[in-house]
A and B are shown apart, each in its own frame.
Chain A
Amino acid sequence: MALLELKGVTKQFGGILAVDRIDMQIFEQEILGLIGPNGAGKTTVFNCICGRYHCTNGEILLQGEQISKLKSHEIAKKGIARTFQTTILLNNMSVLDNIIIGSHTWGEKSLALSFTNRRKYLRAKERAGDILRAFGMDKVSHMAAGELPHGQQRLTQIAIAVASEPKLLLLDEPVVGMNAEEIRYTMEAVKKLREQGITILLVEHNMRAVMEYCERIVVLDHGRKIAEDSPDKVRSNEDVIRAYLGAPEHFTED
C-alpha cells in the first residue's frame, strides 16, 4: 500500500485552478521527485499535503487515513514533516534549540509536558545533538540560526524536519542557491535519510539533483500531471520536453 495517496486533489484559488485532479502515490522508502515549470502547482500540492491549504476537492490519504481536513500541526503529528522554499528558521535561537523545537512531537508524549519532566527534555536535547552531528553541524550548534551561512541554514531546515521523526519528509527546493559541493552533500544526506526509512517527496528545480537521486518523478504542468515515470523515461517523454524543458539539451548540460 502506498504511504501517501492523492486522489483527484484539486485546489482552486478564486477562478484560478492551481491544481487540477491530481492522482499520485508515494510508496514507502522511495525518493519521489515532483517537478514542473514555474507555476505548475508543485508548491500548492505540497501545501495541500501538509495542511496549509485545504484542497477544494479530492482526498489525501496517509496509510489509508484521510488527512485532507486536518490542520497543519495535526498533520505534523501524523508524521509528515516539511521544509520551506524560503528558509524559515528561529533566527534568534541557537541551532540546537531549533532542533529541539523540531522534536516537539517526538516520543510518546508531546514535549510540552517536559515543563514537569526535565529528564525527557534533556533526552530531547541529547538527541538534537546527535542529529546535528549526523548533519556534520555539531560545531555550530550554539550559534544563532540566523547567523549561519546560507547552505547551513538550508541544512538546519532539513534537520528540524527530521527531528520530528517523520514517516514522510516533504522537501521544497532543498538545494536552492547552493554550490555544486553543497548540493552533493545535501543530497547525500537526503539519501541517507531514505536509508533510515524516511520516505521523501522532493520538489526541486535543479534537474541534476532530481535526475540523480529520485527513483520516480512526477511532472506537473498547469496544475495537471503530465507524466509519472523513472528519470530516464521522463527525460525522453515528449510531453515533458514540450511543456517544461523546451529543448532536450537542458538535461545533458553540465
Chain B
Amino acid sequence: MLPLITPGYYAIHTYTWLCIYWMLAASLRFIMLIGAVNFAHAGFMGIGAYASAVLMMNIHCSFWITFFLGGIISALLGLGFGLITLRLRGAYFFLVSFALCEIIRISLSSYWIGTLGGVTGISNVPQPNAVLGVEFGPDSLNSFYLAVIICSLVLISLYVIENGYYGKILKSISESEELCQSVGINTIKYKVVVFVIGCFIAGITGSLYASLNERITASDFTYSLSMFILVCVVLGGQEHIWGSIIGVIVLVIIGEEARSTALFEPIIWGVSLMAVMLFAPRGIFGFVTRFASLAMKRSSSSLKIGGDKQWLS
C-alpha cells in the first residue's frame, strides 16, 4: 500500500483524502449518468458529516451506526429534493442544486448553534470505535485502511450497477427521456433512485470525513468543493468510472503541488478544465481510450437497407 512506500503523517493524510474524493467523484458521476449535475453534492456530504457527528456526540451512538445514519439522512433529503426538482432539465436542475448547496451551508452555520456549533463547527468528533482490537486514530494507518475499504466497496458497487442492465437504463434516460417513457420506463422513478443512491454515498462519505478529520465546519461543504469534484469528473472523463478516479488523482496532485501558492489553486483547476474541454472533450480517460481504439479500429461494413432479405417469419 502506498503509505507503506512513502510513510508519514502527510502521506497518510493525502491518501485518505484521495479516498474521500474518489467516493464523492464516483457518486457525483453516478448522478450525472441520468444527465443531472448535482451541485449540492458537497451539501449532502455536509448533512452526512453533521448528522454523524451530532449523533455520536449527543446520543453516543457508535460510529458504525452513525456512518449509515449519516448516509440515510442525506438520502432522505435527496429523496425529497429529487422528487421535486428532478423533473427540471439541464441547467435548471444545476441552478436549483447550487441554491440548495448554499442553503445547506448557511443552515448548518446559523441554526441550532448549541448543537451544530455555528460557524466554528464541531470539534473533537469521536473516532470510529475499535473493531476486533483494531483501533482507529486520526491520520493513523488503520483509518487509512478503513477509508480504502469503504471507498473500494463504494466504487465497486457503483461500477457493478452501472454495467448491469440498470446502468443501460440510466444511460438511455440521459439520451432520451421521451423514448424511454414510450417503451414503458418510469424515468422519474429511476432518476430519483439514482439521485438517492448518490446522496447516500455523499452522506456516508461525510460521516467518514467527520471522524477522520476530527473537526467539521460548514465552510468545508461549500459549492467550491462541489466545483472541485465536478472538475475532477469532467477532467478525468465522464464516460467511465476510471475517469473520475484519474481526475481526482490529477487534481489532488496539482493541488498539493500548488499548495505553496494556494491562491492560485482555483485558477489552476480552471485552466486545466479549459484545456481538457478544448483539446480532449471526453476527458483524460476518453483521450487515452480513443488513441487505443484508433489503433484497432475495424472498418465498418457497407450499409444497405435490407442487406439480406430476411423477414419476420
Contact = CB atoms under 8 A, between A and B. Distances in A.
A116 B188 CA distance: 21
A115 B303 contact: no
A155 B168 CA distance: 21
A115 B166 CA distance: 6
B184 A77 contact: yes
A139 B307 contact: yes
A91 interface: yes
A101 B309 CA distance: 25
Interface in A77-121: 77, 81-82, 84, 88-93, 97, 100-105, 110-112, 114-115, 121
A40 interface: no
B311 interface: yes
Contacts of A97: 168, 172
A5 to B, nearest CB: 21
Given A97-B168, A115-B164, A148-B303, A134 B312 contact: yes
B73 to A, nearest CB: 26
Interface in A131-150: 133-136, 139-140, 143, 147-149
A152 B304 CA distance: 8
Contacts of B169: 101, 104, 112
A90 B306 contact: no
Report which residue of A88, A91, A163, A182 has the largest number of chain B beta carbons within 10 angstroms of its beta carbon. A88
Interface stretch (B84-92, B131-139, B175-183, B200-208): B175-183
A185 B306 contact: yes
Interface string B292-313: 0000000011010111111111
B313 A134 contact: yes
Nearest to B185: A104
Nearest to A102: B183
B78 to A, nearest CB: 20
Contacts of A50: 182
B165 A84 contact: no
Interface in A184-241: 185, 188-189, 192-193, 195-196
B240 interface: no
B184 A160 contact: no
A160 B312 contact: no
Contacts of B312: 134-135, 189, 192-193, 195-196
Report which residue of A84, A112, A164 has the largest number of chain B beta carbons within 10 angstroms of its beta carbon. A112
B183 A164 contact: yes
Nearest to A110: B184
A151 interface: yes
A143 B161 CA distance: 24
A100 B180 CA distance: 11
Contacts of B182: 50, 72-73, 76, 81-82, 84, 161
Contact of A134 (B179, B181, B311): B311
Report which residue of B165, B178, B310 has the largest number of chain A beta carbons within 10 angstroms of its beta carbon. B165
B186 interface: yes
Report which residue of B179, B303, B309, B313 has the largest number of chain A beta carbons within 10 angstroms of its beta carbon. B179
A92 B175 contact: yes
B112 to A, nearest CB: 40
A81 B183 contact: yes
B187 interface: yes
A160 B184 CA distance: 12
B215 interface: no
Contact of B183 (A101, A124, A181, A196): A101
Contacts of B168: 93, 97, 100-101
A148 B168 CA distance: 20
A102 B303 CA distance: 23
B171 interface: yes
A140 to B, nearest CB: 6
Report which residue of B161, B185, B187, B300 has the largest number of chain A beta carbons within 10 angstroms of its beta carbon. B185
B303 A90 contact: no
Given A76-B182, A104-B185, A136 B303 contact: no
Interface of B: 161, 164-166, 168-169, 171-172, 175-176, 178-187, 190, 300-301, 303, 305-313
Q: Which 5 A-B pairs have the closest CB atoms?
A: A76-B184, A105-B184, A134-B312, A192-B312, A151-B305
Interface of A: 50, 71-74, 76-77, 81-82, 84, 88-93, 97, 100-105, 110-112, 114-115, 121, 124, 133-136, 139-140, 143, 147-149, 151-152, 155, 160-161, 163-164, 181-182, 185, 188-189, 192-193, 195-196
18 contacts: A73-B181, A73-B182, A73-B186, A84-B178, A88-B179, A90-B176, A97-B172, A110-B184, A112-B166, A114-B164, A121-B164, A136-B305, A136-B309, A139-B301, A139-B303, A151-B305, A185-B305, A195-B312
